[in-house]
Amino acid sequence: MFKRLFFALITACFISQVSFAQLLIGGYGEIALSRNFFSDNINRYSHATDYKNAPNHGRFDMPHVAFAIGYNFNSKWKMYSEIEFEHGGTESAMELEAEEAGEYEREIERGGEVALEQFWIERTFSPAFNLRMGHIIVPIGYTNGNHLPNEFFTVYRPEGENTIFPCTWHETGVSLWGNIGKWRYEAQLLPGLDSELFSRQNWIQGGSASPYEFKVANKYAGVLRIDNYSINGLRMGLSGYFGYSFNNSIQPSSAEKYKSIKGAVGIGSFDFEYKKRRVIARGYFDYGHLSDSEEISKYNKSLTKNSPSPRTNVASGAIATGLEAGYDIFPLLTQTAKEDKRQLFIFSRYEYYDSMYKTAANITDNEWCGRRRAVIGLNYFPVREVVIKAEYSAGILKSQYNNENNISVGIAYSGFFTK
């Protein structure tokens, strides 16, 4: 009996090993604490002098917590999925209020969002040609393709791209990608953005969302990304996006005066990452253009208050650029640098972005949308998958506004529990 039980356990362990060789389980998560030395009042830009000496305030946050599971069916077919909870997810409940005539009342106990960030099935034909179908990451700019917390130094994701683009940008579509020598390419076909959800503060960011149970696809868009790895330790990438956005909504306008409005969105981006010895440097430059921005602004502001549209002006051009560099000083602090896997990066970051960089003739340029940000801080990696972050950030606005400085600390992990 004991012999049979022993062999049964050995067989179960062997089967488990075979299964886990095909199974991928992992994820990432971030916890942050910030102390902001500026007012968060909604009128802090329109009445800046009233909030010049406003008291500081603090926030605890869980920016992103994601759980991933993938499976290799065989050498040709694979599946991958990722569900993300932003800012703690959402908690809501129906309650029966005894003190309000027995009425039912819906309570919102916690804000946040829950999203299926990725779900795709992939067919591999060769290293140079792979077909991915499903809900995929749109690799425009640096951050969308490198959004894990150990792929940037700051506590929160790079602020410029996180402001003007969807971030992480994910859409349901089709992707062709592959590696050819020192090059990697990816081409995607996606549904277009919805111009009704564009805004002055976040440009096209809201346009990838859908308040419905499906994504409207009256219009389509294309993405192309090319990365080069010819120089040891350096990756350089170019990415571009083009698609129409006007009338890509559930109730498109049939009015004759809008027949020629396209809302063409064009984005061009360059980004790089350098890793060698104890140095890491990263940077990006993004520029985007929206045609018919004046007509789209007027149209959006005419929508009913029940519409999900922000109903604000939107710019014809937006820009974001950033550079960060870090140096691992841990080997300077220990005698066992070669054996010790720990790292301690001292870093600095600078970025500039403006969601209203260019505006049409009759659109007001809200100058507080353009700002610079300077950051200094530390990243400590006790193990490769865990990072503890601390930073001081100076948010520098134009002189008529108040600067937005803060201190943030955080801890994050990113990794897979199976290989």
Q: pLDDT digit string (tens) for 393-402?
A: 999 999 999 9
The answer to whether 199 touches 314, Cβ cutoff 8 Å, is: yes
Q: Which amino acid is at 212?
A: Y
Is 419 or 294 the better-scoring residue by pLDDT?
294
> Looking at the domain assignment, is residue 102 inside a domain?
no
> Looking at the domain assignment, is residue 17 inside a domain?
no
Range of the domain at 334: 26-91+107-416
What is the rounded distance in angstroms from the CA atom of residue 214 to the CA atom of residue 135? 12
Give per-residue pLDDT as tens, 38-59.
999 989 999 999 999 999 999 9
Q: 240: left (phi > 0), else alpha (psi -120 to 50), else beta?
A: beta
Rg of the chain, C-alpha, whole Å = 24
Give per-residue pLDDT as tens, 72-115.
999 999 999 999 999 887 766 555 444 445 455 555 656 677 88
List the CATH number of the domain containing 190: 2.40.160.10
Banded model confidence at residue 2, pLDDT cuts 50, 70, 90: very low
What is the rounded distance in angstroms from the CA atom of residue 69 to the CA atom of residue 79? 8
pTM of the model: 0.89
Strands 279-290 vs 234-244: parallel, antiparallel or unpaired:
unpaired
Q: Which amino acid is at 198?
A: F
What does DSSP assign to residue 199? B
Give the per-residue pLDDT at 111.
Answer: 66
pLDDT of residue 331 exceeding 60, the answer is yes
Which residues 6+ apart lie within 8 Å of 168 measured at CB?
Answer: 84, 117, 137, 143, 144, 147
Alpha carbons within 13 angstroms on the beta-carbon side of residue 32 total 26
Which of 119-128, 274-283, 327-336 is least confident? 327-336
Give the per-residue pLDDT at 401.
Answer: 96
Alpha helices by DSSP H, 251-403: 293-301
Give the per-residue pLDDT at 95.
Answer: 54
Q: 134: left (phi > 0), else alpha (psi -120 to 50), else beta?
A: left
What does DSSP assign to residue 258? G
Residue for token digits 């809302």?
263
The answer to whether 138 touches 190, Cβ cutoff 8 Å, is: yes
Give the per-residue pLDDT at 93.
Answer: 58
The answer to whether 243 touches 192, Cβ cutoff 8 Å, is: yes
What is the rounded distance in angstroms from the CA atom of residue 352 to the CA atom of residue 284? 11
Give the per-residue pLDDT at 241.
Answer: 98
Give the per-residue pLDDT at 103.
Answer: 55
Give the per-residue pLDDT at 335.
Answer: 75
> Looking at the domain assignment, is residue 154 inside a domain?
yes
> Looking at the domain assignment, is residue 304 inside a domain?
yes
CA–chain centroid gap for 319, Å, is 16
Give the per-residue pLDDT at 377.
Answer: 98
What does DSSP assign to residue 203? B
Q: Which amino acid is at 77?
A: W
Which residues 6+ apart lie within 8 Å of 224 measured at CB?
Answer: 185, 186, 187, 188, 239, 240
> Looking at the domain assignment, is residue 15 inside a domain?
no
Total domains present in the chain = 1
pLDDT of residue 414 exceeding 90, the answer is yes
> Looking at the domain assignment, is residue 46 inside a domain?
yes
Which of 165, 164, 159, 201 lies closest to 408 in space, CA to CA? 159
Give per-residue pLDDT as tens, 118-144.
999 999 999 999 999 999 999 999 999
pLDDT of residue 19 exceeding 60, the answer is no
Q: What does the buried/exposed string (b/e) look like for 306-332 if buried means 16 or more CB atoms within 10 Å of the residue's CB?
A: eebbbbebbbbbbbbbbebbbebebbe
pLDDT of residue 279 exceeding 50, the answer is yes
The answer to whether 300 touches 325, Cβ cutoff 8 Å, is: no
Strands 113-126 vs 234-244: parallel, antiparallel or unpaired:
unpaired
> Looking at the domain assignment, is residue 11 inside a domain?
no
> Looking at the domain assignment, is residue 7 inside a domain?
no
* CA angle 287–290–292, rounded 5-degree value: 155
Mean pLDDT of the chain: 90
Give the per-residue pLDDT at 208.
Answer: 94
Give the per-residue pLDDT at 197.
Answer: 95
Residue for token digits 């129409």?
244
CA end-to-end span of the chain: 35
The answer to whether 115 touches 86, Cβ cutoff 8 Å, is: yes
Give the per-residue pLDDT at 356.
Answer: 97
Is 114 or 296 the better-scoring residue by pLDDT?
296
What is the rounded distance in angstroms from the CA atom of residue 126 to the CA atom of residue 76? 9
Give the per-residue pLDDT at 162.
Answer: 95
Give the per-residue pLDDT at 177.
Answer: 98
Give per-residue pLDDT as tens, 216-263.
999 999 999 999 999 999 999 999 999 999 999 988 988 888 999 999
